[in-house]
Amino acid sequence: MNQTAPPPPIEHQRTVLRDGLRLDSGQLIRPLHVAWRSYGTLNADRSNAILICHALTGDQYVAERHPSTGKPGWWANLVGPGLPVDTDRFFVICANVLGGCMGSSGPREEMTDADGNGLGRPWGTDFPSITIRDMVRAQKMLVDHLGIDRLLAVIGGSMGGMQVLEWAATFPQSVFAAAPIACATHHSAQNIAFHEVGRAAIQADPDWMGGRYWETGRIPERGLSVARMVAHITYLSEAALTRKFGRELQGGSALTFLEDVFQVQSYLRHQGSTFVRRFDANSYLTITRAMDYFDLATEHGGLAKAFGGTPTRFLVASFSSDWLFPTSESRALVRALNAAAARVSFIEITTDKGHDAFLLDEPDFHRALGGFVAGAARDLGL
C-alpha cells in the first residue's frame, strides 16, 4: 500500500489568545490559537454577527474554496451573498474547533508547557481531553476579542448543533437566535458505539504508533480511512445508498466473485482515501471523544436549568431519514425548550438523504432557516 504523506501545512488565518483557555478537565491550553474565517462586514454597533459552528470533520472554510482540497465551502449553498445566511447583510464567522486540525489549538499544533513555551513537537495524544463546552468557550474568546457582545445568531448542524446548544445554555445573553440542526442534547449510546469503532480502527493501525506518528512522517491512513468509512455510512440512509448505488456492479454486468465488485464499495473507499489527506487522526480521536462526552442535561443540572428563562429564540430542524440524530431527539429538545417557555420553531424536513441532508440542497430547510434569520434580524431592527 502506498504511504500517504501527512497533509502539507497550510497557513490559516488565526488569532492568538495569550492567556489561554482553562478546560473542563482543569488543564490550561496556553496560548490558545483560534483559526477562523469571516464573510461580510461587521456593522458599526457590531450587532450583525452570525457564528457558524462546524461539524466533526468540517472546518472554518464554510463559504469559500478550501485551501487544501480545492472544494467549495461546506455550506456554500447556505452562506453567501443573497443566500439564506446573507453575507451582504451579516458578518458571518466560522472558527475551526478547539482540537481541530485546521489551525486552531489541537493535537497537530505544537505542544506548549504551562507557561506557554513551545516544546518543539506536536501535542499528539498528549493534547488534553476536551468537551463541546471547551470548544464553545474558545469561540466565545474569539467573539469577545472581536468586540461582539451578542451574536445575532449561532447556527450549526450535527456537532455544530451541539455547540449551538452549548452556546445558548452557557452564554444565553450572547445569543439572540440559535439554530441547532440535526443534533441532540446528548450523544446516544449508538453514536458512541460507532465512534468507538472508528477510534479502534485508528488505534489498531500500526502506523498510528501509539499516537506518535509524527515521528515517522507517516500517517495511520488505513485506520483513519476505515473510521471515515464507518462514519460515512452513518451519515447516509439505507434509502439513499439504494438510490445511489443499489447493487450496481463496477464495470461488468455479472458477479465475478472478485473483490470490490459493488459500486458502493469503491464509493466508500474513495470517501476514506480522500479523508486521510485532509484530516488528522489524533484530532479525530480528540473530537469524537468530545462529542461522546456531550450531555447538556448532566452538564447544566437538567435541561430545565440549561434553558430556564432563556432569552434566546430557537429554530430546531431535523431530517426524516437521519438515524444518527433522529427526529425523536430533536423533538425531545423542543419539548425541553417548550417547558422553559422558550420561543422555539421546529420542523422536520422530509428527505431520504440521511444525516448528510443538513449539508445538501434541501430547499425547505434553507427557506425555513433563511426566514428564521431574517425574522431575528428584523426583530433586532437590523
Partner 1 sequence: MRPPAPVQYVAKNMRLDLRIIAEMIPERARVLDIGCGDGTLMAHLVTEKAVDARGMEIDMKEATEAVANGLAVIHGDADTDLAFYPDDAFDYVVLSRTLQAVERPREVLSQMLRIGRHAIVSFPNFGHWEVRLKLLLGGRMPDTETWSRPWYETPNIHPCTILDFVALAEMDGHVIERWLAVDERGLKAPWRRSVRLANMFGQQALFLLRRK
Three-state SS string over the chain comes to CCCCCCCCCCCCCEEEECCCEECCCCCEECCEEEEEEEECCCCCCCCCEEEEECCCCCCCCCCCCCCCCCCCCCCCCCEECCCCEECCCCEEEEECCCCCCCCCCCCCCEEECCCCCEEEEECHHHCCCCCHHHHHHHHHHHHHHCCCCCEEEEEEECHHHHHHHHHHHHCHHHEEEEEEECCCCECCHHHHHHHHHHHHHHHHCHHHHHHCHHHCCCCCHHHHHHHHHHHHHHHCCHHHHHHHCCCCECCCCCCCCCCCCEHHHHHHHHHHHHHHCCCCHHHHHHHHHHHHHCEHHHHHCCHHHHHCCCCCEEEEEEECCCCCCCHHHHHHHHHHHHHCCCEEEEEEECCCCCHHHHHCCCHHHHHHHHHHHHHHHHHCCC
Q: Which of 47, 158, 225, 283 is catalytic?
A: 158
The residue among 244 and 335 lying less far from partner 1, judged by its C-beta, is: 335
CB of 355 closer than 8 Å to CB of 324: yes
Tell me which residue of 68, 10, 65, 61 sits closest to 38, measured CA to CA.
Answer: 61
Least separation in angstroms between residue 230's CB and partner 1 is 32
Least separation in angstroms between residue 181's CB and partner 1 is 13
Least separation in angstroms between residue 88's CB and partner 1 is 18
The residue among 255 and 341 lying less far from partner 1, judged by its C-beta, is: 341
- What CA–CA distances, in Å, run from 233 to 83, 149, 246? 29, 40, 14
Least separation in angstroms between residue 368's CB and partner 1 is 4
Asked about 322 being catalytic, the answer comes back as yes
Least separation in angstroms between residue 335's CB and partner 1 is 4
Least separation in angstroms between residue 372's CB and partner 1 is 6
The residue among 202 and 316 lying less far from partner 1, judged by its C-beta, is: 316
Asked about 295 being catalytic, the answer comes back as no
The residue among 249 and 382 lying less far from partner 1, judged by its C-beta, is: 382
Q: Which of 105, 322, 330, 356 is catalytic?
A: 322
Least separation in angstroms between residue 314's CB and partner 1 is 9
- Please give the residue ranges that form the binding site for partner 1 (CB under 8 A): 313, 315-316, 334-335, 338-341, 343-350, 364, 367-368, 370-372, 374-376, 378-379, 381
Least separation in angstroms between residue 376's CB and partner 1 is 8
The residue among 268 and 316 lying less far from partner 1, judged by its C-beta, is: 316
The residue among 28 and 347 lying less far from partner 1, judged by its C-beta, is: 347
Q: Which of 33, 187, 300, 355 is catalytic?
A: 355
Handedness of CA 104, 307, 78, 46 (dihedral sign): negative
The residue among 70 and 381 lying less far from partner 1, judged by its C-beta, is: 381
Asked about 145 being catalytic, the answer comes back as no
- What CA–CA distances, in Å, run from 210 to 207, 213, 282? 8, 7, 10
Measured CA to CA, the distance from residue 208 to residue 223 in angstroms comes to: 8
The residue among 142 and 344 lying less far from partner 1, judged by its C-beta, is: 344
Compute how many other C-beta atoms are within 10 angstroms of the C-beta atom of residue 94: 29
What residues are labeled active site? 158, 322, 355
